Amino acid sequence: MRAAVVSSVIVTSLVTGCGSSRPRAGTGADAALTTPDAAVTTTDAGGVTQTAPSPTCASAGCLRAVTVVGDYDLATLRPLLEPAVQVDNGYSLYTLEYFTSARTALATVAIPYRVDTPAGGWHVVANNHGTSGVEDPCVIAGTISGAGLAGTFGARGLIGVAVDYPGLGTPGVHPYLVADIEGHATLDALRATRVLAAHLGVRLSGRNAVVGLSQGGHATLAAAARHRSHAPELDIRAFAATAPATVWEEDWRVGVAIDGPHVAYHAMMVYAWAEHYGFQLEPLWTTQTATIIDEVMAQSCGYPLTAGGPTIASRLGSSAAGIFSPAFLTAYTSGSWGAYARFHDFFTANRIGPYTQTAPLKLYQGDADTTVLRQSTDALVAALRAGGNSVDYEVVPGGTHTNVAFGFVAYQELRTTESIAWLRARLAE
């Protein structure tokens, strides 16, 4: 388990001239980090009031552990940002371990630093990350990625929460694109952040928003669909996503039939679903892939872990026929599942569609995105609207998969300013 690990990349990249490893007393936000405030005690899903981490707690959203990463003032952050990036303040970083779906997960929290707490308290925004992998090496908590995703909001007068999913840095395989797990992890991370605030004496407004990119968009929409049933006590004012994965079987069936690096996403999904749902009835992999698949998934990610290092795609190759068994690939591409019929059930369970809406929804899609295609998001928006959901939808000219919104604080994306303004407006309503 890596809950207590603080990556040296954060220390070397962000601590130059920085402050201590513990909250310090002072004025404004500094005082808020050290002054207890009974008004911010929180009650978890089991009805238990929690104001401090408990390493054996076992109710949804309870906080098991906190690692203090450090405090980063504005002068420290500015040299690390692109010139066009506008931020308002530095932030204090924490890594959380919390309980969700009978497992544990991690999150990175960025709390505004050296600025006065708003009269009504801080709003909180959960930022769900895109595909990284399915095992511990692909965790973003305790890395520059976790800091950057949380910092997108932490540096702009909001509390940012970069959500990891169970299995990334915690025991077990990450249930990739399993809607229940992702949605609950997102909502439970907001619950755990309330406990952190109580523990630190940080005043919250009680208002939240949830955003995400790609897999994180799937997680965001899964959370939106489960908000009322899983965490009705959370006041969530907005959900927003960029290029969300929809997990529509008819789209994935077409994709797996075309060779390319995207086939790695199919391999991750099939592997994670087989592990999560316990599918062991028929062979999924070619004989050669079967001998290495566990090692590849345990040691590699969707991106190189070292300069020039291997990825899941480079280890497995770009041909579906070289990865999946002939019987499974035939079933997958045809939709005639036969002995693999449970995979049809898995697609159905994790498909994004109309839901009981509790807050405004904004979706962005780049028209130059070659990972999640525009027609996929167009179809999702049409289905949501046909099912009674209200969707604010914007297609962004020149937008690729990673330059539209909800990325890292260091980079100015095409809709960074507008997306944050939209969130602020919803949080203020």
In a domain, 376, yes or no: no
pLDDT in the model for residue 56: 96
- Classify residue 161: in a domain, yes or no: yes
Picking from 140, 62, 427, the residue whose alpha carbon sits closest to that of residue 301 is 140
Flag whether 383 is in a domain. no
pLDDT score at 40:
42
Say what the pLDDT of residue 51 is: 87
Rounded to an integer, what distance in angstroms lies between the CA atom of residue 84 and that of residue 95? 28
Q: Which residue has the tokens 């797996």?
A: 256
Q: Let me know how long the chain is.
A: 429
343-352 pLDDT, tens per residue?
999 999 999 9
pLDDT at 17: 25
Question: What are 316's two structure tokens?
Answer: 């497995």
Is residue 253 included in any domain, yes or no? no
Q: Please check whether residues 307 and 423 belong to one and the same domain.
A: no
Please tell me the predicted confidence (pLDDT) of residue 49: 75
Domain-ending residue, one of 350, 375, 409: 350
Bridge-based pairing state of the strands 159-163 and 42-43: unpaired
**Would you state the pLDDT for residue 96?**
98
Per the structure, the complete domain to which residue 320 belongs is given by 259-350
Distance, in Å, from the CA atom of 129 to the CA atom of 170, rounded to the nearest integer, reads 16
Q: What total number of domains does the chain contain?
A: 2
Residues 87 and 161 occupy one common structural domain: yes
Shared domain for 215 and 265, answered yes or no, is no
Looking at residue 324, the DSSP 8-state letter turns out to be B
Note whether 166 and 291 are same-domain residues. no
Residue 8: predicted pLDDT: 30
Beta bridge partners of 104: 99
Q: Which of 320, 350, 380 is the last residue of a domain?
A: 350
**Which pLDDT tens digits describe the chain residue by residue (429 residues)?**
333 222 333 332 332 222 222 232 222 333 333 333 333 445 544 454 788 999 999 999 999 999 999 999 999 999 999 999 999 999 999 999 999 999 999 999 999 999 999 999 999 999 999 999 999 999 999 999 999 999 999 999 999 999 999 999 999 999 999 999 999 999 999 999 999 999 999 999 999 999 999 999 999 999 999 999 999 999 999 999 999 999 999 999 999 999 999 999 999 999 999 999 999 989 999 999 999 999 999 999 999 999 999 999 999 999 999 999 999 999 999 999 999 999 999 999 999 999 999 999 999 999 999 999 999 999 999 999 999 999 999 999 999 999 999 999 999 999 999 999 999 999 999
- Say yes or no: 329 and 213 in one domain: no
Would you say residue 35 lies in a domain?
yes
Domain presence at residue 364:
no
**150 — phi, psi (to 5°)?**
-70, -40
Nearest C-alpha neighbor of 96 from the set 14, 191, 220: 191
CATH of the domain at 70: 3.40.50.1820
> How many CB atoms sit inside 10 A of residue 260's CB?
12
> In this structure, is residue 338 part of a structural domain?
yes
Backbone torsion region of residue 275, taken as left when φ is above 0, otherwise alpha when ψ lies between -120 and 50, otherwise beta: alpha
Nearest alpha carbon to residue 110 among 61, 62, 70, 168: 70
Strand, helix or coil for residue 176: coil
Whether 228 and 84 share a structural domain: yes
Asked whether residue 333 falls in the same domain as residue 231, the answer is: no
170 and 316 housed in the same domain:
no
51, 85: one domain: yes
Beta bridge pairs of residue 111: 92
| pLDDT of the residue at 42 | 55
- 177 with 310, same domain: the answer is no
240 and 271 share a domain? no
The pTM score is: 0.90
Instruction: Write the DSSP assignment of 23-75 as a string of letters.
Output: ----STHHHHTTS--GGG-EE-TTS-EESS--TT--STT-EEEEEEEEEE-HH
Q: For the residues of 219-280, what is the DSSP string, one character each?
A: HHHHHHHHHHHH-TTSEEEEEEEES-----HHHHHHHHTS-STTHHHHHHHHHHHHHHHT--
Domain membership of residue 311 (yes or no) is yes
The pLDDT assigned to 14 comes to 38
Cα end-to-end span (Å), the chain? 40
Q: Indicate if 273 and 148 belong to the same structural domain.
A: no
Domain termination site, one of 327, 350, 373: 350
Distances (CA, A) of 249 to 66, 327, 410: 39, 18, 35
